[in-house]
Structure 1
């Protein structure tokens, strides 16, 4: 009995998936209530929710708290340009992509001390950002800058703060080096909730540390993007021997 019962939610997911891919249920359309779908398929709401969880993990269905389950609209990917720590200009300028941001002053502790190479308790300017395309979240960023390097008024000026954070770019001194560590991993529960994804689809996590010509860390950025909504491009520039080019 365990086998047929446990496979029932996969059968339901297959049927709903077919309806979505065939266009019988259109992008943005709300699915019937969970109770209504459970009655239609003659299963418990627990089994029905297991079927919906499969489609949510695949990115076909999005559950909006208090509103129900919706067929997810096709998501346009954004592009992260490595080495500069920005979104590409075309993406960043797109009116549909908006960034909400909260700024704060925090004290360095734990991993922030290591990333920014500062003593415990050092004041940092913190920018917490989330980007959206329409209603769909596209990325998270937490940007930290030594408080004395943050331009005057940037924490109080909402437009300046938003402009800088939208680019995920350095707010402080000119750069000498940018080090980016990139990995694919499962999202944390907080990341999954903020990005409206399940715990199964991987995210692309980028830790970006920028230093100035003196070797001082001027920014540390922790960026997280759903793996199906981001392309990251990194370009390597090869140094040429000036003596050969001049000869």
Structure 2
């Protein structure tokens, strides 16, 4: 059933969406097994009880919503529309009113310094790429050498596996071009993948996450930092949207929302001008 769904039901979906939906449906299948049914025989009551189960396990609203989206898609693919009618689902918070966590200038400088001092050209090149292009983690690991075009004075990066399968082209800063060039000088192979693991395979998302976890950094915060910096610098939202690969300007607007640090600094400055 899952194999057929993967080949037929998820045709045209992005790699990340397929991965997310298959994971969610496999979890739904496990729960159904314990409830005495399967992916063909479940009913509306099963779906409602499954959602209630997720709530009882204290999963976040966004996580529950992801599982619910997958179950809806799977049910529609199976023509089991009755099974998803009038399901009561917890409402996730409005992410447009939340500012993503961005790193401070000092935090960015610190991670750059420490990775540079480590002498690992690959990790340093990864950091410069993430910080100065704002690409997503899954976009980074799917990069090939041919996606980079670097000359003496300029460079570009083509993101082929963007969200929604949309391509975009990004300029490369001088520091990023230098880091990429230095890394490629350490390579004596003909492998297409841009960033390799220690086993000479395409690097995994988990490996990249581990690189930054050692320094107390969540790799996703590098993308947030890039976009937040553009927004705070007053760049046009359409430009930020184009660089970040966000589908709508509304998604960019959340980066202009004040963070908790912004609020604290505003209060502390209240009486400084008197």
Asked whether the two chains share a fold, i.e. TM above 0.5, the reply is: no
Structure that is richer in helix per residue? 2
Structure-2-length-normalised TM-score: 0.27
